[in-house]
Structure 1
Amino acid sequence: MMSENDESKLRQFDFWLGEWDLTWGDNGRGTNLITAVLDNRVIQEQFDGTPSTPLQGLSVSTYNTQLGKWQQTWVDNSGSYLDFVGEFADGKMVLSREAMLEGKPILQRMVWYNITEQALDWNWERSEDGGQTWQIMWQIRYQRKVE
């Protein structure tokens, strides 16, 4: 049996649900379709970077009640497999992971912020100093698709 607190945490990613037009950089464009599946316990992402980049990817995210954190798995057409863990706090969803870059340990994270009903911002960030400082590697602006 889930607690009421767990139930509310299961809804923390609902802001991301829907169809989105994405923009980045000078003229980057793409789309993202975010749906709730498996009894609304899993958030599924279908990212399409075309025409600006050939990158296409899928993610699944779920709130792990035993861990008390969100977990996400990302796969894409470049062969990437990434796994993240994090939480929603102070109006931001932050999911992070440890990785290796040229033989050195780094941290990577995604941050969803400036969240409104119609728009939000997303950053892909990297830290080479254990999380003391972060460098933005990719910043995407989400705008909800108009029906």
Structure 2
Amino acid sequence: MQNQDLDRRVLLALGLTLGAGGQALAQIQPQRTGTMTGKAAHDFDFNHGEWDVTNRRLKQRGVGSQDWDVFPSHEKAQVLMGGMVSIDEADFPTKGFKGMTLRLYDPAKDQWAIYWINSKDGLLQPPVYGRFKGGKGVFAGDDIDEGKPIKVLFDWTITDPNAPRWSQAFSYDGGKTWETNWIMDFRRPA
């Protein structure tokens, strides 16, 4: 019973941290360990801890640009609720903002929902959904970029758990073509 109360408090705190977008999160009843199947609930265990990150982000998206902005960030990540929740905060010191990722595992659907929020606008972005298979995680969803509807693809490649790579791609034509616009290479601090 004490663990259930702690899980509810964690979800409430996350909900309060995320503001209005997190109200629904704060009302989620935690899943018990017995409901989880397989190890998918631990897919993001590799991400726990601190990371130094090299970011490469297109200076202009959706125009065929190959002009990349390269900048550092630092991430602190933790895994909660027996692996079913993964949360991180990233600091982009040369860009003047921070970001937070919230990942929630749904054992009934055997998939993850990934949400992003940043300190520039404080808005919880629409989630992407997916799962890992063979060291690669693929997560897809819909969003708006500069007023245009887009499809979003997050890709996690875990060939080395001490040096994972995340990338983001957008499709402006309903998924026919994709443009990778942000790549993050992670490494443990020295």
Give TM class, smaller chain: 0.7 to 0.9
Q: Which residue of 2 aligns with 1:68?
A: 110
Deviation, 1:119, is 0.4
- Residue 2 of structure 1 aligns to which amino acid in structure 2? T
Consecutive unaligned residues of structure 1, counting only runs of 5 or more, are none
Deviation, 1:103, is 4.6
Does the alignment pair 1:22 with 2:53?
yes
- 3-state SS of 1:15 partner: helix
Higher strand share: 1
What TM-score does the superposition give when structure 2 sets the normalisation length? 0.67
- 3-state SS of 1:66 partner: coil
What TM-score does the superposition give when structure 1 sets the normalisation length? 0.85
Consecutive unaligned residues of structure 2, counting only runs of 5 or more, are 1-33, 57-68
Deviation, 1:65, is 1.1
Q: Which residue of 1 aligns with 2:6?
A: none
| 2: CA distance, partners of 1:24 / 1:73 | 19
Deviation, 1:100, is 2.5
| 1: CA distance, partners of 2:139 / 2:150 | 14
- Residue 129 of structure 1 aligns to which amino acid in structure 2? D
Deviation, 1:101, is 3.4
Q: Which residue of 1 aligns with 2:35?
A: 2
- Provide the alpha-carbon RMSD of the alignment: 1.9
Identity of aligned residues (%): 25
| 2: CA distance, partners of 1:37 / 1:7 | 17
Q: Which residue of 2 aligns with 1:37?
A: 80
Q: Larger Cα Rg: Structure 1 or Structure 2? A: 2
Higher helix share: 2
Q: Which residue of 2 aligns with 1:59?
A: 101
